[in-house]
Structure 1
């Protein structure tokens, strides 16, 4: 008999990492990086199942100990440098559908966003539902506006944008946002049938810069640890 659940959270965490070796297992303030995302997902009442998709048995063990479900070891073909996150998500969805369990909404939570918390997930999902959206991505305020970007033409410096008003003041610039990679929500049909995370009715959830760090290198790890020590007091 088919079982329909509302929301499946998928945390993709492969063992290989060029920028930071063993990144998902690196300790930040005493806990593996991936554990922060698992705890945020488990703390959200919106999520029916939290799954870690990994090709690494060590990551699998740490994830299970943190409370996540690891129902399979990801095929090596989906754990290469060029492997697409879309295919990793579809593989997890197909695994459950083969077990007779069907989800309506899929949430992608990348483990490289350790400061994203349960509140962020709850708020993002509420926006997604209230707007009857097809998809949603979390964003944070952009550090720089494209208006301020410059490019070189040989040795001459010019504006990056083709049209620019030199009289425009910085305070008059429209506020813009950048994807921070912390939360993606998508209807299952859009993911599985169109291989996309962005639908026609696409919404955004704004996160503060303080919780929007994306771990890409050693400096990011140090910044995240410093922030956590400051906010937790230990």
Structure 2
């Protein structure tokens, strides 16, 4: 679907799905935290669908742009990115052990809802698709929106701190074990890089393309 696009076209179809996915993910964390007693994200202006406050120079701009350029050169489309994490003051939550899990789950669930939204866009869009038309732009953006949101959801559900799945697991562990598990948080990125280096990360993320194909079957 994307192999025949030039660099400018790849960037065009990537911008909206990427910004919507990371913006909604982070805003959902902040909104649920606010409902559960912590107003930190609200005070910092992070409970918003305006992507600007959520933009991370590296994760939202540099990495996606590099991947798009590589995709254009290699002919194998790749895209990923992230936003600035929404700050949460955990001690302000009314029931920290429970609420940490609820705040963490809000991000992946927001991505699932966004994938369903893009599926609906894909379902109702019709028109000429020969060449880079408005219709093909919407269809490719929607397909990319489904895939990227599912990928972001599955990645964040991995039980590795500081990912959302790690926070959920940590909230379920007995207190002493939870304290020990929390000590691994500074090494979370290195754990992910190690999983990538040994070739295990694609297997852990395999549910994302499976779910994507399931969505596409119903278009």
Q: Common fold, TM-score beyond 0.5?
A: no
The structure that is strand-richer by fraction is 1
Larger relative contact order (C-alpha < 8 A, sep ≥ 6)? 1
TM-score, normalising length: structure 2: 0.29
Which structure's CA Rg is the greater one?
1
